[in-house]
Amino acid sequence: MLTENKFGKYLTYAIGEIILVVIGILIALAINNWNNENQIHSEETATLQKLIQDLKSDNKRYLENIEIYKKQDIYLTNAKDIIHKKSLLDNEIKEVMYYYGAYIEDINPRKTTYDEMLNSGRIYTLSNEKLVDEIIEYYQFLDNSIYQNQETRREFRAVFYGPAFTDFWFWQAEEEPFPFAKVFFSDTDSQAYRTLKQSAGWSVGINEQMLENNIKLLKTNNELIEHIKMELKGKK
């Protein structure tokens, strides 16, 4: 009977020890998980804050581009109207004799944080899946805009600086270019002049397209910044 009591005590003690060990392990796991979650939370917060800084840099660039394209619109539209006249006065020739056509501003986005997120796979670990989709969509739109800008610039330059337009350029290096310009602008049916008219109309269209695109980029950029700020606010 005494032996049975001792065994019972030992068994109770052993079970108690096991329970304490299990509880200790569970507590350690809980603390470890809590630490991991805190680390993930801190890393995500820091990443989103860096991303906002990149987006703000892009935002500034879009605003600058929009102002440039608005000013360009006045010049290009006025030049097109003059160039499309059947005959030009001397003062009108002087206004367009150095016509430079559409000028496409580079976007030059700051993509450091996004590229790091993409290359490391961290973008897919963000807790808000909808925000992940918005970030990816924004940068896809941005990349597509950059590609379209490059293609439009290449196509325009192929015409504007092409062999059919040589007569428009050769006299611009002369000390007294106006007499040469006057000869050029007097023949509005020449191949080079027809190319100039085509380029003038095309330039207005390109400028409008670039202006509209930068306005869209600015709007999408502002919306994404606000959504990230809301996400960060919810993490405090």
What would the mean pLDDT of 30-41 be, rounded to a whole number? 51
- pLDDT for residue 5: 59
Position 131 confidence tier, pLDDT thresholds 50, 70, 90: very high
DSSP string, 152-166: HHHHHHHHHTSGGGH
Cβ 40 vs Cβ 88: under 8 Å: no
Query: How much of the chain is helix, strand and coil, in % rounded to 5?
Result: 85, 0, 15
pLDDT above 80: residue 11: no
Per-residue CA distances from 148 to 122, 152, 206 (Å): 29, 6, 11
More confident residue, 7 or 107: 107
**Nearest-angstrom CA–CA distance, 193 and 175:** 22
Q: What pLDDT digit, counting tens, does each position of 75-91 carry? A: 999 999 999 999 999 99
Structural domain of 20: 2-235
Q: Positive or negative, the Cα torsion across 184, 186, 192, 195?
A: positive
Position 236 confidence tier, pLDDT thresholds 50, 70, 90: low
- pLDDT for residue 221: 98
Among 6-20, 90-104, 211-225, the minimum mean pLDDT is found in 6-20
Q: What is the DSSP letter of 190?
A: S
Q: What is the DSSP letter of 110?
A: -
CA Rg value for the chain: 33
Position 234 confidence tier, pLDDT thresholds 50, 70, 90: confident
The residues, any chain, with a CB within 8 Å of residue 62's CB and separated by 6 or more, are: 107, 214, 215, 217, 218, 221
Give 85-91's long-range contacts (Cβ < 8 A, gap of 24+).
86/188, 87/186, 87/188, 88/185, 90/182
Q: Which two tokens stand for residue 100?
A: 């430079």
pLDDT above 60: residue 155: yes
Q: What pLDDT digit, counting tens, does each position of 165-182 carry? A: 888 888 778 889 999 999
Q: What pLDDT digit, counting tens, does each position of 37-73 carry? A: 555 557 788 899 999 999 999 999 999 999 999 999 9
Number of domains in the chain: 1
**Nearest-angstrom CA–CA distance, 80 and 99:** 10
What would the mean pLDDT of 5-28 be, rounded to a whole number? 59
What's the distance, Cα to Cα, between the start and end of the chain in Å? Answer: 63
pLDDT above 50: residue 18: yes
- pLDDT for residue 34: 44
More confident residue, 31 or 158: 158
The residues, any chain, with a CB within 8 Å of residue 130's CB and separated by 6 or more, are: none
**Nearest-angstrom CA–CA distance, 129 and 147:** 27
Quote the mean pLDDT of the chain. Answer: 87
Position 206 confidence tier, pLDDT thresholds 50, 70, 90: very high
What residue type is assigned to position 101 of the chain?
G
What would the mean pLDDT of 135-155 be, rounded to a whole number? 96
Query: In what helix (H) or strand (E) does residue 63 lie, and over which residues does it extend?
Result: helix 2-83
